[in-house]
Amino acid sequence: MPKLIDHEKRREQIAEATWRIILERGMEGATVRNIAKEAGLSLGALRHYFATQDELLIYAMTLVKERATARIAKIASQEPFTPKEQIIRLLLELVPTNQEKMAEAEVWFAFTAYFRHKQGVFDAMHDGIYAGLQKVMNYAEQVGLLPKKMDKELETEKLYAIVDGLALHALLDPKRLDGKQMERILVQHLTELFERGS
């Protein structure tokens, strides 16, 4: 009996090979030829799974987003934390505090720059983080953590800037800005925001 090959599993393996290539050589290196080699496939076999380079790149980026979303959903469903602890843990999932998230940030950065001038191909501008932070702020408000006199929209936008600014800087200069320092900044920011009302 022939070995059954899981189509979706193979597509994920190809996406992972794409990430590795981007991490090593950037978007310029992410040609179908290089990706096929990295994935241990012939060009023809690769084309069986992805008809075009853009189709493959979009799938690879979507998979980054799905994995991050899954991690965050898992944390959001965990109960044994205080609301403040849970919010901090969620925010820490959005910044590159380990190798896996550093790779995600690298891929996000490369893809966003690459797809920026290809309109309609991939909406890298709306990666769901802003919408996620709006939910986090609404949750903080519901559990009474936010000060009463507060511009929630402004604070959400500011928190979003801090999260993505930290992610960008950790990516560009990981020696200066490490996971511990990002955690300290996020904890200090939330502590101050939550205490402002009391």
Please report, to the nearest 10 degrees, the dihedral formed by the alpha carbons of residues 75, 21, 118, 44 taken in order: -110
Residue 4 DSSP symbol: P
Question: Cβ 52 to a copy of itself, closest distance in Å?
Answer: 15
User: How many residues at the interface with a copy of itself, by CB under 8 A?
Assistant: 42
Give the integer Cα–Cα distance in Å for 21 and 110: 11
Cβ pair 142, 133 in contact under 8 A: no
- The answer to whether residue 31 forms part of the interface with a copy of itself (CB under 8 A) is no
**Region from 4-12, 62-70, 83-91, 181-189 binding a copy of itself, contact rule CB under 8 A:** 181-189
Nearer to a copy of itself by C-beta: 41 or 95? 95
- The answer to whether residue 20 forms part of the interface with a copy of itself (CB under 8 A) is no
Residue 67 is inside which H or E element, if any? helix 53-76
Q: How many CB atoms lie within 10 A of CB 131?
A: 9
Question: Cβ 181 to a copy of itself, closest distance in Å?
Answer: 7
| Of residues 157-176, those binding a copy of itself (CB under 8 A) | 157-158, 160-166, 168-169, 172-173, 176
Q: Which of 71, 108, 110 is nearest to 91 (CA)?
A: 71
- The answer to whether residue 50 forms part of the interface with a copy of itself (CB under 8 A) is no
Give the integer Cα–Cα distance in Å for 150 and 144: 12
Tokens of 166: 């930290």
- Give one DSSP letter per residue of 38-55, joined into a string: HHT--HHHHHHH-SSHHH
What string marks each residue from 112 to 151 as x (binds a copy of itself by CB under 8 A) or -? xxx-xxx-----xxx---x--------------------x
Which residues here bind a copy of itself, judged by CB under 8 A? Answer: 24-29, 109-110, 112-114, 116-118, 124-126, 130, 151, 154, 157-158, 160-166, 168-169, 172-173, 176-177, 181, 184-185, 188-189, 192, 196
